[in-house]
A and B are shown apart, each in its own frame.
Chain A
């Protein structure tokens, strides 16, 4: 199995420039045009540089997409799911926005400008909004509020044109009258430069997200674009039905858009030629924590977590062969999916990075965060610190979140501090339940899930702590 590709430069100082190609496997069907489909797991960082010329040399222009329904069917066959965290099927979101907009006809090929030299060229028009169709909005979400994730800013800095291709294509598919890119400050300049290179992107507005955990939440993105207030908002209807300005709104993560732009070029069958039936294609992961070389990697779907970690050890073999490298230090646990994800105990990190395999640990691939906790660190200490961070990241709008998350973090901190109070674990469970489902966004739910996973992953240490001891720190 091909495991690793694209040791992505730029995420950390000191890594070499350029892309280390993944192992080459026979490619899928040949595509007419200037370029062959990327082989192996190195898909998203094929361009030599971030320029439009580099992009076109690596990927060529997007082919003409004349039938919206047919392309959405192709996306369904590809199995591409959102890469922002929730993992919602991309085709379904697109179909939902189109249905809300009253678009049932195929994408017209006359006025949409698809197949221009630089991409989908929607110009500034409203290609699908003739007749009775409602106007729609498309937003590329590169806010990446998760501090452990660097993959979106890395993608936007290295391959902005793939993202813009995907954004313009989605805009054409739903007949968007407003098209926005929402990015973190770290990628703003690269994206601004990329947009300025494209004659077909003059209508795309660029907004910089604040550095806040909840800034990337979809309704917060809608708020930021509409009202310049980047906090989640109450919603009775899904954004695809009523979002920005009451219009059907499509918010897609930037990696999702880049992957979509590849499916448009090379097809669903090619997309599925990497990964597994459940986790097709590749995904970007950000590996951090107790590894010598934290980095962003592009990996095949369902790559084992330990293989991803091993790739960050300089002595590690390029491909995972089942044996740990000699320099492998103990791994206590790996936090998978980010601060709203779950801890996978060190004994279980041979599990694949897949939703099905990780569910038992309350984790999911999410936005591709893989955070390593070395065996010299107390997991309860680490979890308590993160819980306090998450409590501090509440947008301070919803009472149960404002009050409940600090209370939850405090109880976990008492447990981490070896307070000999046998009621503490039950109190963590109770508070986690009290906050769940009671906010305008999923921040309380995600925080509760994270804290509960710490109790499970470190359960034997929980018992030690209640006894005044710690399995890691003898003192």
Chain B
């Protein structure tokens, strides 16, 4: 069960120009990120406008930090909500 992100929550920004679909983030954040048929991260139940800046619940922050630091393509950044 995925915890609902709070308003103003941290977001995981995906730089699609770097992402290669290695899939590490989708394992670390399996409840939040699925993989599309080509392996790229696809935010679950996210509106189109939130798919490149994926809202996170507080409980996902540690895993998100790991994903940012472990992404082999350095395609992820943690940001606060706009």
Binding site for B on A (CB under 8 A): 232-234, 236, 397-401, 403-404, 433-434, 436-440, 445
Contact = CB atoms under 8 A, between A and B. Distances in A.
B49 A400 contact: no
B79 A437 contact: no
Contact of B16 (A236, A400, A433, A445): A400
A236 B11 CA distance: 11
Given A399-B40, A400-B38, A403-B38, A437 B20 contact: no
B16 A439 contact: yes
A190 B51 CA distance: 42
Contacts of B38: 399-400, 403-404
B48 interface: yes
Please list the 7 inter-chain residue pairs (A to B) with the smallest Cβ-Cβ separation, ordered nearest first: A437-B48, A398-B16, A437-B51, A234-B15, A397-B17, A403-B38, A399-B40
Given A236-B77, A445-B48, A438 B17 contact: no
Contacts of A232: 17
Contacts of A236: 13, 77, 79
B18 interface: yes
B48 A399 contact: no
A310 to B, nearest CB: 37
A403 B14 CA distance: 17
B16 A234 contact: yes
Contacts of A445: 48
A403 B36 CA distance: 10
The dominant DSSP class at the B interface is: loop
Given A399-B20, A401-B16, A438-B14, 15 more contacts: A236-B13, A236-B77, A399-B16, A400-B40, A404-B38, A433-B48, A434-B36, A436-B48, A437-B46, A437-B47, A437-B50, A438-B16, A439-B52, A440-B16, A440-B52
25 contacts: A232-B17, A234-B15, A234-B16, A234-B17, A236-B13, A397-B16, A397-B17, A398-B16, A399-B38, A400-B38, A401-B16, A403-B38, A404-B38, A433-B48, A436-B48, A437-B46, A437-B50, A437-B51, A438-B40, A438-B52, A439-B16, A439-B52, A440-B16, A440-B17, A445-B48
Given A399-B21, A399-B38, A403-B38, A437 B49 contact: yes
Nearest to B15: A234
A399 B40 CA distance: 7
Interface string B61-79: 0000000000000000101
Nearest to A431: B37
Nearest to B53: A236
A236 B38 CA distance: 24
B11 to A, nearest CB: 10
B28 interface: no
A398 B14 CA distance: 10
Contacts of A434: 36-37, 42
Contacts of B77: 236
B36 A400 contact: yes
Nearest to A233: B17
B79 A398 contact: no
Interface in B18-58: 18-21, 36-40, 42, 46-52
A314 to B, nearest CB: 44
Contact of B15 (A400, A433, A437, A440): A440
